[in-house]
A and B are shown apart, each in its own frame.
Chain A
Amino acid sequence: MSLTLWIFLGLAGGFGAICRWNLDLAVKKRVNRYPELGIALVNIVACLMIGFAAGYFLPTDGCYQILATGFLGGFSTFSTHIVDIVKLMETGRHRDAAMLLMGTLLASILAAFTGLYLGKWLT
């Protein structure tokens, strides 16, 4: 991997992290009752985009690596999502926790497939 690609990877990751922060805050401002939905939406959008990238670019493409490993890797998050679920479980809201986990997972897989077909269709 070349140094330029490495630098762009980091820049894209930082930009993705800022996008996640802003989108999460925007959702939290509108949906007061379920603040966990911000990160869930971030992850679903990231899955849609990575599906599209996987369908549109070749995996060895520098564009794909910057977009998928850099931007979308920094944008989507596993740890915050898991800690949100654990917080729900700690307060006894087990049904909400299960629904958040399964709902996000199913929606993101569906989004990834949609993106994949969309990307393949556009090439």
Chain B
Amino acid sequence: MATRNQSIMAGAIFLGGMAGTWLRAGVDLLLSEPNFQLSRYLTFSCGLFIVNLAGAFLLGYLGMKWEHLTIRENREGMVKNWHAPLRTGVTTGIFGALTTYSSMSLLVAHKHIWLDILALVFLFVGGIMVATWGRRWARKRYAAPASPESGVALEGVKQVRVHLGSQGEGEQ
């Protein structure tokens, strides 16, 4: 049987999934005009591109941010009951449902297959790039050392590394 926590989590994911699906369907509906298609030879719609890339960036950013915040909250004893359901609801629910993989696989059944494959390559390369940027940005903003001692210790390690590095170069 599902425990209370699991039920709350499932409810959060359901609500998030609903919101994500409506958002995707809404963007699709708004951009389903023929002049919003990337090209009239491409069956790919602009909506799929925008939604998938935005979702990849935001999931990269927020996932990284909340990973760091959870570590900090656990260390400082600041964990709240609603943190986990809210975060899972947004990441697994909203962004999971906002972005889609299944619609992409259908496009190969169309006429201009090479153009669609090109669009697919752009989508994957772009997705990996924006997700990497999102994660880097979040890490830069939220991975700051929480206590001054750990900051000093990190500085010390860096200096020792620099020192060793310069020694190594000298020997060569």
A101 partner residues in chain B, CB cutoff 8 A = 124
Known: A15-B14, A49-B102, A109-B105. A83 touches B21 (CB 8 A): no
Assembled-state Cα–Cα distance A15/B91 (Å): 16
Which of these binds chain A: B51-59, B68-76, B142-150?
Answer: B51-59
Return the CB mask of A56-88 against B: 1 if under 8 Å, else 0.
000000000000111011111111111101100
B55 partner residues in chain A, CB cutoff 8 A = 78-79
A81 partner residues in chain B, CB cutoff 8 A = 101
Known: A9-B22, A82-B131. A17 touches B13 (CB 8 A): yes
Assembled-state Cα–Cα distance A11/B91 (Å): 18
The count of A-to-B residue pairs whose CB atoms sit within 8 angstroms is: 170
Return the CB mask of A36-56 against B: 1 if under 8 Å, else 0.
000000010011011100100
Known: A9-B22, A13-B21, A86-B132. A74 touches B108 (CB 8 A): no
B102 near A79 with CB under 8 A, answer no
Assembled-state Cα–Cα distance A18/B10 (Å): 6
A80 partner residues in chain B, CB cutoff 8 A = 59, 91-92, 95-96, 99
B124 partner residues in chain A, CB cutoff 8 A = 82, 101, 105
Assembled-state Cα–Cα distance A90/B60 (Å): 12
B25 near A9 with CB under 8 A, answer yes
Assembled-state Cα–Cα distance A70/B135 (Å): 29
Return the CB mask of B11-27 against A: 1 if under 8 Å, else 0.
00111111111101100
Give min CB distance, A49 to chain B, whole Å: 7
Which residues B1-38 have CB closer than 8 A to chain A?
9-10, 13-22, 24-25, 28-29
B60 near A54 with CB under 8 A, answer no
Of B10, B59, B95, B120, chain A has the most CB atoms within 10 Å of the CB of B59
Among residues of A, the one whose C-beta sits closest to the C-beta of B127 is A82
B131 near A13 with CB under 8 A, answer no
B102 near A75 with CB under 8 A, answer yes
B108 partner residues in chain A, CB cutoff 8 A = 109, 112-113
Give min CB distance, A3 to chain B, whole Å: 12
14 residue pairs bridging A and B, Cβ less than 8 Å apart: A6-B22, A14-B18, A14-B93, A14-B97, A17-B14, A50-B106, A72-B102, A73-B21, A75-B102, A77-B95, A82-B56, A82-B59, A109-B108, A111-B105
| Chain B interface residues toward A at CB < 8 A | 9-10, 13-22, 24-25, 28-29, 52, 55-56, 58-60, 63, 91-93, 95-106, 108-109, 120, 124, 127-128, 131-132, 135
